[in-house]
Amino acid sequence: MNLKRFWILWGAPALLLASCASWSLDYIAPPVAKEDTALWRGRRVYLIDCTRCHSAEPVSDYTRAEWRDIMPEMIKDSRLTDEEARAVTAYVMRFARAEGGGGAVVKN
Ligand code: HEC
């Protein structure tokens, strides 16, 4: 493969990664144990289905009240199954920013 193609293929993703380096994946979407099935699936939906149109913002950027406003439209946009919708809603509610309080639930 010539050098130009190499950069077209790998340059953009590398830049993208570098620009996000200050946010670890675990900060954006805190990990959960696989045994915690619904939350575990919810995290996958958050990181995979919810990133089709935009990147994932840290879950803790929003309070539960804010997520309650945001989710219905986003779920519709994502064309999730009922089960996926329930899982991702449970997930963002679990890691939402504490109501009224500053600071994230999970700190890295
Ligand atoms: C079909 C494209 C699409 C998908 C899929 C999608 N979004 Fe969005 N999202 C948007 C657009 C467009 C906006 C900005 C306009 C708006 O607020 O409606 C947005 C805005 C947002 C915001 C910012 C809202 C605010 O008020 O600041 C959050 C948070 C968000 N999306 C989360 C999600 C989550 C969680 C999912 C998965 C359930 C998701 N999005 C799936 C298109 C999408």
Q: Which of 45, 70, 73, 76 to mutate to test the pocket of ligand 1 (most atoms within 8 A of CB)?
A: 70
Protein residue whose Cα sits closest to atom 22 of ligand 1: 70
Q: Is residue 85 within 6 Å of ligand 1 at its C-beta?
A: no
List pLDDT tens digits, range 45-103: 999 999 999 999 999 999 999 999 999 999 999 999 999 999 999 999 999 999 865 54
* Token pair listed for 79: 């064309």
Q: How far apart, in whole angstroms, are the C-alpha atoms of residue 78 and residue 86?
A: 13
List pLDDT tens digits, range 8-36: 667 666 655 556 556 789 999 999 999 99
